[in-house]
Amino acid sequence: MASVVTVKNIAASTSEKEVKDFFSFCGKVTSIEVTSEGATKSATVTFDKAGAARTALLLNHTKLGDNEINVSSTASSDDDAAQHTHQSDRDTDEITQEEKPRARILAEYLAHGYLVADTGLKTAIALDEKHGVSQRFLATLHDLDHKYHATDRAKTADQSYGITNRANSLLSGLSSYFEKAIDTPTGKKIASFYTTGQRQVSDIHNEARRLAELKKQEAGGSSYKAAGLDKVFGPEKTTSTTPASHTEPLAPSNATAVESQQTPVAPAEVPGFGTATQVPKA
């Protein structure tokens, strides 16, 4: 099964690393080749698994950098179920991007500031429902939770809503799905996102906002860091103001203005978002 996608109309200013980071949300990228085509670039992206390539197709007409890209492939979604790894076949407790529901993956894109077309979101919902991906994924999470008692540890660490301690890698990996405990009102609402087949596009946007808030908390509560601006402009700077003024994080005065949705954080830079989550041994 094909695990390669072709990407067209990439902006000339978009680097190879940005292209790789963008598609890494879909799954492990094994190779990437970027070539210039006049005023734009094209890329051939090879994934480790065909399922990741099929997910990448949902990003057709998504904006990357300055341009709306075109993504195509010979991959088909008909054998999606065949790509699933059964819990009994696991040789690791790693939760890979390929195992996640496509609705979750696109929510991660939105949480990192990318703009995804509603047609892609609707297709993701339909594919997840057709192949039972969400139900299998939640079953995997429950198996890991039963093995490591993640929700019990989370409740002990913090009874309040929201993640205030993300240092523990177990909580970093699983709490974004369980949100403390599955039997709490908040936890049940989040669990329904992964079990309910009748999701709407608005549900993905709501999940994206929740993930963005978790990402902000992981960055120490700074929206400047959460948006990745510290990686573009350097450490956050503040200025003294009069009592009537409102203090905002400032970028250096000579920096080029950018839109927040165009400064996404690379998948590997935030635990639990856009990366495979490694669960520590008990």
Residues 122 and 215 in one domain: yes
Structural domain span for residue 164:
90-238+258-282
Assess if residue 182 is contained within a domain.
Answer: yes
Instruction: Tell me the average pLDDT of the chain.
Output: 69
In this structure, what are the phi and psi dihedrals at residue 8, rounded to the nearest 5 degrees? -120, 165
| Spatial separation of the C-alpha atoms in residues 280 and 41, rounded to whole Å | 41
Using DSSP, state whether 63 is helix, strand or coil.
Answer: strand
What is the rounded average pLDDT of the residues 106-118?
88
Q: How far apart are the first and last CA of the chain?
A: 36
Residues 113 and 206 in one domain: yes
From 73, 102, 122, give the residue that closes a domain.
73
Rounded (5°) CA angle 187-282-276: 60
Residues 32 and 95 in one domain: no
| Spatial separation of the C-alpha atoms in residues 161 and 19, rounded to whole Å | 35
Residues 227 and 202 in one domain: yes
What is the rounded average pLDDT of the residues 208-219?
75
The total of structural domains in the chain comes to 2
Assess if residue 249 is contained within a domain.
Answer: no
pTM of the model: 0.60
Assess if residue 186 is contained within a domain.
Answer: yes
Name the one residue in this structure whose structure tokens are 């019990």: 152
Residues 264 and 180 in one domain: yes
Longest dimension (CA), the chain: 63
Dump pLDDT digits (tens) for 141-187. Answer: 777 667 766 555 545 544 444 433 433 333 344 445 544 434 445 44
Assess if residue 81 is contained within a domain.
Answer: no
Assess if residue 83 is contained within a domain.
Answer: no
Q: 217: which residues sit within 8 A by CB, 6+ positions away?
A: 162, 163, 164, 166
From 73, 108, 123, give the residue that closes a domain.
73
**Amino acid sitting at position 249:** P
User: Is the per-residue pLDDT at 121 higher than 80?
Assistant: yes
What percent of the chain has a predicted confidence (pLDDT) above 90? 26
Find the CATH number of the domain harbouring 32. 3.30.70.330
Assess if residue 253 is contained within a domain.
Answer: no
Contacts 24+ apart (CB under 8 A), 217-221: 217/162, 217/163, 217/164, 217/166, 218/163, 218/166, 218/172, 218/270, 218/271, 218/272, 219/270
What is the rounded average pLDDT of the residues 84-95?
56
Dump pLDDT digits (tens) for 191-206. Answer: 566 655 556 778 888 8
Dump pLDDT digits (tens) for 34-49. Answer: 999 999 999 999 999 9
Residues 220 and 267 in one domain: yes
User: Is the per-residue pLDDT at 52 higher than 80?
Assistant: yes
Top pLDDT among 174 and 130 is at: 130
User: Is the per-residue pLDDT at 221 higher than 70?
Assistant: no
Residues 192 and 266 in one domain: yes
Residues 99 and 209 in one domain: yes
From 48, 73, 98, give the residue that closes a domain.
73
Closest alpha carbon to 250 in 240, 237, 263: 237
